[in-house]
Amino acid sequence: MSNADIALMAHLMRRAGFGASRDELEQRVNRGYANVVEDLLNPGAANAMPDDLIRRFHSDMAEMRELNSAGAYWMYRMVTTENPLEEKLALFWHSLFATGYSKLNQARALMNQIETFRRHALGDFRTMLIELSKDPAMIIWLDNNDNHKGDINENYGRELLELFSMGIGNYTEDDIKECARAFTGWTLGNVEYMSTRASRDSIWPYSRIAWHFEYRDYDHDDGEKTFLGQTGNFNGDDIVDIIVQQDATARFISTRLFQFFAADHVDDAGAAVISDMMATYFSSGYEIRAVLRTLFNSDYFKSNDARFARVKGPVELVVGAVRMAGTYQQPTFGADQLARHTMYMGQGIFQPPSVEGWHEGAEWIDSGALVERVNFVGKELGDPGNPGVQAIINRLARQADGPLSPDAQVDACVDLLGPLELRDSTRTSLSEFAAEQGPADLRADQRTDADEQRIANLLRLLTATREYQLA
Amino acid sequence: MTTTINNRNLVVIQLAGANDPLNTVIPYADGHYYDFRPNVGIPTEQVIPIDGQFGFNPNMAPVKALWDEGKVAIVNGIGYPNPTRSHFRSMDIWHTCEPEKIATEGWLGRVIRDLDPRGQNVITGVNFGRGLPRSMGAPGVPVASVGNLETYGLFPDVEEERIRGLCLDAFGKMYGGTIQDSVMDYLGQTGRDALKGADILRTAPDRYASTVEYADNPIAQSLKNVAQVMCADLGTRVYYAQHGSFDTHGDEVKVHGGLWTQVSGAVSDFMADLEEHGKADDAIVLIWTEFGRRVKDNGSGTDHGSGGTAFIIGNPVAGGFYGQYPSLAEDDHLDGDLHWNNDFRSTYSTIAEQWLGLDPVNIVNGRFEQWDFLRK
């Protein structure tokens, strides 16, 4: 097993998942890169922390009424799943079809939406857009329940085109209105009943829970519509049919997947990969699984150009750190803090700044967010009591035949946390820090708490580097 | 007035999601208002009258009190040419002063650069809240972004002081130097700014005491933090906070009213706090939103429109109406919206030149007529 194989697998797992421990990387390298890609694209049982266990310890996550309960519940799944790509994609779709708690006051509807994203994450984009259009949280979020025959509310129609499928510049204001007309009648079944109860009951928000999709023929505008140059008595699914056939849609979704999984910045080589992804999009019948297969198996993705070419988003940073530290594997007091921390870093789950989602790439970083990132990850990986940190220390101990010199400590930590690629000046600073701390003797009969703490301190500092902010 | 140009502060509050101007400063004597707003119109008897024509939303009593003291300027009909109804695009335009193309420099970033051209104070601009607004971002301009002033800083949970000191030293070195890689250089600059800004800002809460009790909501807490930093005299000049979401497509009367209760209370408490600390002559507050909303309601809310309302509040402000209130008559609408009649860059220019003493042309990308909403 070569270092290059480990480094490539670490890259794939940072992108298609939330990073991986060295033990996991070794197992996956043995399976072979192409096989691992297929494993990720064809997930089996997730074996995430079971709902009944979560609910036994967190009654708030059984009711799922509140924001942080729902955020923490999802974090548990991201932290413990054996299908990391499934959760990573759910996060991708949440970023793209960004729906916020602020308007819904109802977290369960958002969790249901995420479950829909999970179910269709790797399927065809047409089905995804149809299901999105029927999703109760989305209907409320973008007001399609107020979109009536003869009295349109164009919010969903506009964002479906601008933010969810084609991007601005590929349609006219008239197309938006026609799109909105086609989605009249796509509403919630019991919204009047729910709103009567909401106005009568003072106990918020129990009365809002039972949202479900309903199509109302009598409130649907069945008249002729002209949308993107085609004319007919279009309904919402006809509109989606037209949308998914557009080059603009293929480019939009391929580019967004590329930027989320491969590189923040699209250079010429990246543009060529996006062209290949677009071709796959059409040849596969708009299948996301096939489009991602093209991406992950591309020479570009495997090359150095794509390594560390993305700024880690807050959720992937936090989940990655927690998985590496081996914490929160069991119900843990204060788990709701996990969701709060990603919010402090600028990515509150279910709290996108707008329906546009989050500005990604370098825009994740400002001085406030950087402080939060460094402090959170440092606390997880700077504690020698955490299982993942123990695992790293024990691994070092097995390789050691004497006290580890400061430089050897740096080499080992850089390797086991990534391997990471550090600039010389970063490495020098780490070596100086390690030298100030002194050698660490990790052999079982020699080891003291101070020896372990030295390694943990070094891991903490390593996660504070610029390089660690990149995926 | 005791103020000198070098200790003048600008506090910017963004009402994210597009505040509805018609339900904020209400043309309650105009029959069109009730014709177009059968569902979300505020009943005449609930409006807080300003004069025979206009009145404040019922949830804005604290703003009315400031108005009565002559401290509130209201710019009606504010907007920009060829208005877009996309939140994000419109916010970008207000943030960058660039209506024609996508820009990356924020106008407040340029203000901060001109206030402190050599970047001597890394906290000339401070954002309170999560994520830096585009207004404040400009290459090479340090800006601190503070979630919680009380706990701001690096490695707070390293117990051993010697190790924490070593960590901070190492951090400073690791984030030093430029390497001709835009992302890494940006990270380096951000890290250095964070390190330095944290050392300074951490001192602010300890140096502050006040009898004002702010409400427990995000905008009130943000303005409390603004007051803490301003009162600590750390050289901060530009402060940013935001509140929302004002995107009231549905259930507008309740949601919009609740938000204004919070904003009005927070601004009023903030003004009282500045008064208590002798800072009230040194600060103005600009409240803006990305666009207005449709004249006609859609049932229980309003869709995206244009032609908004901005507020400038403070002792140095010459209170009153500025800009014509757009006509509600259907023939005067711009595509179903209130027709804007003054460019937001006039307001920005006025603040940049008359309040901060800066040349506004580069800051707002052009020369715009200025208002008289600041006392001479």
Who among B130, B143, B304 is closest to A343 (CB)?
A: B130
- Do the beta carbons of residue A38 and residue A289 sit within 8 Å? no
Average pLDDT, integer, range A145-155: 95
Answer yes or no: do B283 and B334 share one domain: yes
CA dist., res. A17 & res. A25, Å (int): 12
Answer yes or no: do B230 and B355 share one domain: yes
Closest approach of B164 to chain A, Cα-based (Å)? 10
Inform me whether the C-beta atom of residue B254 falls under 8 Å from chain A C-beta atoms: no
pLDDT band of residue A201 (cuts 50, 70, 90) is very low
CB proximity under 8 Å: A 350-389 to B? 353-356, 361-362, 365-372, 374-375, 378-379, 382
Answer yes or no: do B76 and B100 share one domain: yes
Counting beta carbons within 10 angstroms of the beta carbon of residue A419, is it exposed (0 to 12), middle (13 to 18) or buried (19 or more)? middle
Using left for φ > 0, alpha for ψ between -120 and 50, and beta otherwise, residue A295 falls in alpha
- Chain B residues whose beta carbon lies within 8 Å of the beta carbon of residue A103: 245, 247, 250
Burial A343-358 (b: 16+ CB within 10 A, else e): bbbbbbbbbbbbbbbb
pLDDT band of residue A346 (cuts 50, 70, 90) is confident
CB–CB of B167 and A153 under 8 A? no
pLDDT at B178: 81
Over the stretch A216-229, which tens digit does the pLDDT of each residue have? 999 999 999 999 99
Answer yes or no: do B89 and B168 share one domain: no
Total H helices, total E strands in chain A: 26, 4
Answer yes or no: do B235 and B93 share one domain: yes
| ipTM value for the complex | 0.93
Query: Phi/psi of residue B56, each to 5°?
Result: -85, 155
Counting beta carbons within 10 angstroms of the beta carbon of residue A38, is it exposed (0 to 12), middle (13 to 18) or buried (19 or more)? middle
pLDDT at A208: 54
Q: Which chain B residue has its CA at the smallest distance from A427's CA? A: B174
- Chain A residues whose beta carbon lies within 8 Å of the beta carbon of residue B179: 423
Residue carrying structure tokens 């799109």: A179
Q: Which of A334, A327, A269 is nearest to A302 (CA)?
A: A269
CA dist., res. B307 & res. B18, Å (int): 10
CA dist., res. B144 & res. A368, Å (int): 6
CA dist., res. B62 & res. A458, Å (int): 53
Answer yes or no: do B162 and B83 share one domain: no
Who among A102, A154, A426 is closest to B174 (CB)?
A: A426
Closest approach of A198 to chain B, Cα-based (Å)? 12
Domains in chain A: boundaries: 1-42, 314-469
Q: Which residues span the domain enclosing B189?
A: 153-201
pLDDT at A198: 52
Retrieve residue A458's tokens. Answer: 């070094």
Query: Phi/psi of residue A311, each to 5°?
Result: -85, 130
Q: Can you tell me whether residue A138 is helix, strand or coil?
A: helix
Closest approach of A156 to chain B, Cα-based (Å)? 11
Who among A344, A370, A423 is closest to B194 (CB)?
A: A370
CB–CB of A368 and B144 under 8 A? yes
Answer yes or no: do B236 and B183 share one domain: no
CA dist., res. B315 & res. A360, Å (int): 40
Q: pLDDT over 90 for what percent of chain B?
A: 72
* pTM greater than 0.90 (yes/no): no
- Do the beta carbons of residue A376 and residue A320 sit within 8 Å? no
Who among A140, A162, A432 is closest to B86 (CB)?
A: A162
Taking only the tens of pLDDT, chain B with its 376 residues reads 345 688 999 999 999 989 999 999 999 999 999 999 999 999 999 999 999 999 999 999 999 999 999 999 999 999 999 888 777 678 889 999 988 766 768 999 999 999 999 888 989 999 997 667 889 988 778 778 887 787 678 998 898 989 999 999 999 999 998 888 889 998 998 899 889 888 889 889 989 999 999 999 999 999 999 999 999 999 999 999 999 989 888 889 999 999 999 999 999 999 999 999 999 999 999 999 999 998 998 888 888 888 899 999 999 999 999 999 999 999 999 888 899 999 999 999 999 999 999 999 999 999 999 999 999 8
pLDDT band of residue A112 (cuts 50, 70, 90) is very high
Answer yes or no: do B273 and B182 share one domain: no
Residue B251 lies in a domain: yes
- Chain A residues whose beta carbon lies within 8 Å of the beta carbon of residue B176: 425
Q: Which of B105, B111, B185 is nearest to B139 (CA)?
A: B105
Q: Which chain A residue has its CA at the smallest distance from B187's CA? A: A466
Q: Which of A464, A454, A458 is nearest to B171 (CA)?
A: A464
Residue B212 lies in a domain: no
Closest approach of A50 to chain B, Cα-based (Å)? 32
Residue B133 lies in a domain: yes
Alpha helices, H only, A201-312 = 236-244, 247-261, 268-283, 288-296, 299-302
Answer yes or no: do B77 and B9 share one domain: yes
Who among B158, B170, B186 is closest to A365 (CB)?
A: B186
Closest approach of B65 to chain A, Cα-based (Å)? 30
Inform me whether the C-beta atom of residue B152 falls under 8 Å from chain A C-beta atoms: yes
- Chain A residues whose beta carbon lies within 8 Å of the beta carbon of residue B142: 367
- Chain B residues whose beta carbon lies within 8 Å of the beta carbon of residue A371: 152-154, 194, 198
| Stretch (H or E) spanning A219 | none
| Stretch (H or E) spanning B280 | none
Provide the pairing of β-strand A225-227 with B144-146.
Answer: unpaired
Say how many domains are in chain B: 2
Inform me whether the C-beta atom of residue B166 falls under 8 Å from chain A C-beta atoms: yes
Strand partners, B312: B73, B286
CATH number, domain with residue B336: 3.40.720
Who among B89, B171, B183 is closest to A362 (CB)?
A: B183
Answer yes or no: do B190 and B283 share one domain: no
Inform me whether the C-beta atom of residue A144 falls under 8 Å from chain B C-beta atoms: no
A107 pLDDT more than 90 = no
Retrieve residue B249's tokens. Answer: 């497509």
Over the stretch A63-95, which tens digit does the pLDDT of each residue have? 777 788 899 999 999 999 999 999 999 999 999
- The residues near A41 (Cβ < 8 Å, ≥ 6 apart) are A85, A122, A289, A292, A293, A296
Q: Interhelix angle for A314-325 vs A67-80, to 10°? A: 50
- Chain A residues whose beta carbon lies within 8 Å of the beta carbon of residue B177: 425
Inform me whether the C-beta atom of residue A452 falls under 8 Å from chain B C-beta atoms: no
Q: Which of A361, A313, A331, A427 is nearest to A49 (CA)?
A: A331
Inform me whether the C-beta atom of residue A329 falls under 8 Å from chain B C-beta atoms: no
CA dist., res. A14 & res. A8, Å (int): 10
pLDDT at A49: 94
CA dist., res. B147 & res. A375, Å (int): 13
Answer yes or no: do B79 and B192 share one domain: no
Residue B369 lies in a domain: no
Residue B128 lies in a domain: yes
Residue B371 lies in a domain: no
Retrieve residue A395's tokens. Answer: 């691994």
Could you tell me which residue, B84 or A46, shows the higher pLDDT? A46
pLDDT at B42: 97
CB–CB of B174 and A370 under 8 A? no
Alpha helices, H only, B121-251 = 161-174, 182-201, 218-231
Counting beta carbons within 10 angstroms of the beta carbon of residue A387, is it exposed (0 to 12), middle (13 to 18) or buried (19 or more)? exposed
Q: What is the dihedral of CA A111, A116, A120, A124, to 10 degrees?
A: -130
Inform me whether the C-beta atom of residue B102 falls under 8 Å from chain A C-beta atoms: no
Retrieve residue A154's tokens. Answer: 């164009």
- Chain A residues whose beta carbon lies within 8 Å of the beta carbon of residue B197: 367
| Stretch (H or E) spanning B77 | strand B72-79
Strand partners, B334: B337
Answer yes or no: do B192 and B226 share one domain: no
CB–CB of B147 and A470 under 8 A? no
Inform me whether the C-beta atom of residue B298 falls under 8 Å from chain A C-beta atoms: yes
> Long-range contacts made by residues B363-370, C-beta under 8 angstroms, separation at least 24?
B363/B97, B363/B107, B363/B110, B363/B111, B363/B114, B364/B97, B364/B107, B365/B97, B365/B98, B366/B97, B368/B343, B370/B346
Inform me whether the C-beta atom of residue A199 falls under 8 Å from chain B C-beta atoms: no
A204 pLDDT more than 90 = no
CB proximity under 8 Å: A 13-52 to B? none
Q: Which chain A residue has its CA at the smallest distance from B201's CA? A: A368
CA dist., res. B93 & res. A14, Å (int): 35
